[in-house]
Amino acid sequence: MKHSLSFLIIITLLFAGCRQKAQSNFQSESSVQTEESNPSLEEYAEEAVITGKVLNRDFYPQEKELTLIIPFFRDMGNQYRSPIQKDGSFSFRFPVYAKLREVSIRNYAEHLYIHPGDSIHIEIDFKDLFHPKVTGDAEKLNQEILAFTESAYYYIQNYNMKPESDVKDFEAELKKDYNFRLERRNEYLVKYKPMEDVVLFTEELLKQDYYYALLFNGMSYLFKTRKEMDRYHTLLPEINKLYTKGILSARLYDVADEAERYIAYGIAFRDKKNPSIEEIMAAMGESEMNQYLYTKLIAGSLCTNDTLAFHEKRTQFDSIVIMSHLRAQVMQIYNQTKSYLKNPQPVSDNLLYGEFHENSKHTTRMPYMKPVYDVLEKNRGKVIYFDFWARWCPPCLAEMEPLKQLRSKFSTDDLIIYSICVSEPKEQWEECLNEYSLRNRGIECVHVTDYLGIDNYQKIRKQWKIDRMPYYILINRQGQIIDFGTAARPSNPQLVSRIEEAVKRRE
């Protein structure tokens, strides 16, 4: 199969309107991760250790584990899981690969900051979720940043340009507010006299927010006028300086995302074609940000359960991406994807039966998954393919013909296809069945309200990470999920090959 990274740009351009919510497909089940050895990863490679204890655990008895998130691009954040022990303790160990890095413990400590080699302890009180207590090496660091972010010296506000607004008026308003934030930061510096790292961090945080807002609303203007604003290109060298400080925050990835989208859409509107990654990087100029853009595209292919594109582009990746933290996160996603493709059972068990750990000896069934379990039981020994789609999603409708072609390739004794429409009103689903001649095709065409029920579907959507449309689940004869996501679509030759392999395997 031929792979092209420019295809991922096309996916971005065409599928943006079908996106709902982003989250990584792959989640590590161990607190200790392995990385492929590479000399460039030595800088800041010393591990950090986070230990902690949960207090008043009986307040949320259903919480069995905590998830540490290393910020990365949307959909791709690296995750580390740690079970909460009987005494309430938990621990994480991970390489930092930066001078200063932001991480988060999902739902309980959204903003933590750590250096390579730091060892910190976090006390999380389930009765007081807004005030986790940090002690240890980075105690002062976190206290000083917290004083800035939660003491009225800093606030986050997303600026959305009104349809009737002039872009120059918006930029003037944004600049005015940025200057106000700088004044508030100066007051903070005088009062708290923070350490050098915090001085630099607070300065960079305000710049990141400013440029993100500028690019985000520049995109709004671009969509409205279909005109590129050349003056934004002159800002790229300044924006690129954000990536040279050795301080990694979640916002940095948002800025890179918006810069890529701004340039990609600008080229598409101007040249009436989808730009390649090379064209986008050329427009960006010689910059560190190009390493982020190339990393995003490589990681994106891996998150669609595809390692071949990375193998084909490995030489280019090695020559373009030299930043330690980017290489490390790509290799982590690669190792997770490779592990899943080799042994899908752990991920499959998690998706089908809920949370689990490496040492667990049983799985817990979830009542809302009963319709899925019924399908597995009814079609035991067959390959099962779920297609979740919506009437409002053009890429979903584009897969209708390939879906019928896929159905014709395999016997119903071997492959069962469920086409599940999740959009309303239900009458539009009926119209689609007629418009695309889906009736009497050997395809189980069902509406989500009849098959799953809206409440159950919302829970299944969360469990299966259904964050965009279309979305697919492929289950082999042994009841394992062997492929999932938006790329496992009928028109994808790789998907067809996986089904062929699954059909042949009868053991």
Note the pLDDT tens digit of each residue in 324-336: 899 989 998 999 8
Average pLDDT over residues 169-195: 91
Q: What is the pLDDT of residues 89-106, one digit of tens each?
A: 999 999 888 889 999 999
Q: Are 444 and 416 in contact (CB under 8 A)?
A: yes
Per the prediction, the chain carries an average pLDDT of 84
Using pLDDT thresholds of 50, 70 and 90, give the confidence band for residue 190: very high
**E strand map for 196-329:** 247-248
| Mean pLDDT comparison of 17-31, 35-49, 450-464, highest-scoring range | 450-464
Kindly indicate whether the domain formed by 47-138 is annotated with CATH number 2.60.40.
Answer: yes
Q: Are 9 and 280 in contact (CB under 8 A)?
A: yes
Residue 319 clears pLDDT 80, i.e. is over it: yes
Q: Are 22 and 73 in contact (CB under 8 A)?
A: no
Phi first, then psi: give them for residue 69, nearest 5 degrees. Answer: -115, 125
What is the rounded distance in angstroms from the CA atom of residue 364 to the CA atom of residue 463? 13
The dihedral over CA atoms of 396, 399, 404, 408, expressed in degrees to the nearest 10, equals: -130
What is the rounded distance in angstroms from the CA atom of residue 269 to the CA atom of residue 272? 5
Using pLDDT thresholds of 50, 70 and 90, give the confidence band for residue 351: confident
DSSP per-residue string spanning 19-62: B-----S---SSSS------GGG-TT--EEEEEEEEESGGGSTT
Angle (deg, nearest 10), helices 6-15 and 277-284: 90
What is the rounded distance in angstroms from the CA atom of residue 122 to the CA atom of residue 4? 44
This prediction has a pTM of 0.76
Using pLDDT thresholds of 50, 70 and 90, give the confidence band for residue 163: low
Residue 363 clears pLDDT 50, i.e. is over it: no
Beta sheet of 128-136, edge-to-edge order: 89-95, 47-55, 119-125, 128-136
Residue 168 clears pLDDT 70, i.e. is over it: yes
DSSP per-residue string spanning 429-440: HHHHHHHTT-TT
Bridge partner list, 389 = 421
Three-state helix/strand/coil letters over 72-137: CCCCCCEEEEEECCCCCEEEEEEECCCCEEEEEECCCEEEEEECCCCEEEEEEECCEEEEEEEEEC
Kindly indicate whether the domain formed by 369-504 is annotated with CATH number 3.90.1150.10.
Answer: no
| Mean pLDDT comparison of 268-272, 340-344, 445-449, highest-scoring range | 445-449
Which residue type sits at 256? Answer: A
Side-chain-side CA neighbours of residue 286 (13 Å): 0
Residue 20 clears pLDDT 90, i.e. is over it: no
Q: What is the pLDDT of residues 31-74, one digit of tens each?
A: 333 334 443 445 577 899 999 999 999 999 888 899 999 999 98
Percent of the chain with pLDDT strictly greater than 90: 50
Average pLDDT over residues 365-378: 89
Q: What is the pLDDT of residues 238-264, one digit of tens each?
A: 999 999 988 899 999 999 999 998 888
Q: How far is CA 116 from CA 233, 325, 331, 418, 476, in A?
A: 35, 12, 19, 49, 43
Residue 398 clears pLDDT 50, i.e. is over it: yes
pLDDT of 7 reads 35
What is the rounded distance in angstroms from the CA atom of residue 338 to the CA atom of residue 306? 9
* H/E run at residue 243: none
Q: Are 215 and 158 in contact (CB under 8 A)?
A: no
Q: How far from chain centre, in Å, is Cα 225? A: 30
Q: How far is CA 498 from CA 302, 388, 484, 488, in A?
A: 16, 19, 11, 10
pLDDT of 66 reads 94
Residue 171 clears pLDDT 70, i.e. is over it: yes
